[in-house]
Amino acid sequence: MTDPVIDEPRRSRREPGSGSAPRLAVAESFDAFYLRELPSLVALARALSGSAAAEDLAQEAMMAAYRRWDEVALLDLPAAWVRRVCANLSTSLIRRRAAETRAVLRAGGQRTAYAELPPEDATFWAEVRRLPRRQAQAISLHYVYDMAVSDIAVTLDCSESTVKAHLVRGRSALARRLGVDEEDPS
């Protein structure tokens, strides 16, 4: 049975003879990948879901990668795949509720919590989470990973024009709600 939130990793398109130079598929160990990617992945989950379930959501995304590591490791960008899974999990109402339940359980009925963000930063992310799902994902990737449009498109597996549309709409709504200018005055 397929999971609509966790898409199957697609094979690298950079096959020998496809126009780009063949490259050796040197797969990174999962542990190294995990330790490098996890902090920013949890931050992405926090941005998109709030703090209560962030670790569980990031861990679920990593678990998905672990179970498919033979395939994921050979992707051009394994990190993009796991970030996409994490972003989709974090904006899935059901997955968040389940992850929150696990988090509450683990903490003995108390929510696990990170150090509180300064109020204006907490407000920023709260407003990001109020955006439509795809806009929130694009904005979060843009700021958490400092990603350009092309990188966001690869991560979300959509076209650059789609990402641009999400960013334009999301940024406009965010600026209006936060009462700030979209661009620095030049």
Partner 1 sequence: MSLDTRGRSAAQELLRSTRSDLEARTMLDTLHRGSDRRTGPRVAVVAVLVAVVLAVGALSWSAWHPGGSTPPAVTTPTPTATSPSPASLGLSEPATAVPPPGWTLVSTPDLAVVTSLDHYFVEVLVSPTPIGTSKDPAPSPLTAQSLAAWVSTHSGLVRTAVVPTTIGGRPAFQVDLRQATGAPRGTVCDPANRDCVPLVRLASHQLPFGVVGGTVGRAYMVTLPSGRIAVVAAGAGGDDRIDALVKATQPLLDSLAFPAG
By beta-carbon proximity to partner 1, the closer residue of 22 and 132 is 132
Q: What angle do CA 55, 58, 61 make, to 5 degrees?
A: 150
Give least dist CB 21 to partner 1, A: 31
Choose, by CB under 8 A, the member of 14, 164, 169, 171 that binds partner 1: 171
Give least dist CB 160 to partner 1, A: 19
d(CA 53, CA 42): 9
Choose, by CB under 8 A, the member of 34, 73, 74, 165 that binds partner 1: 34
Do 174 and 127 meet the contact criterion of CB atoms below 8 Å apart?
Answer: yes
Segment interacting with partner 1 (CB under 8 A) among 13-21, 81-89, 90-98, 150-158: 90-98
d(CA 101, CA 122): 22
Segment interacting with partner 1 (CB under 8 A) among 9-17, 20-28, 67-75, 148-156: 67-75
Nearest-CA neighbor of 138 among 7, 44, 36?
44
Could you tell me the two tokens for 164?
A: 């641009």
Segment interacting with partner 1 (CB under 8 A) among 10-18, 76-84, 109-117, 153-161: 109-117
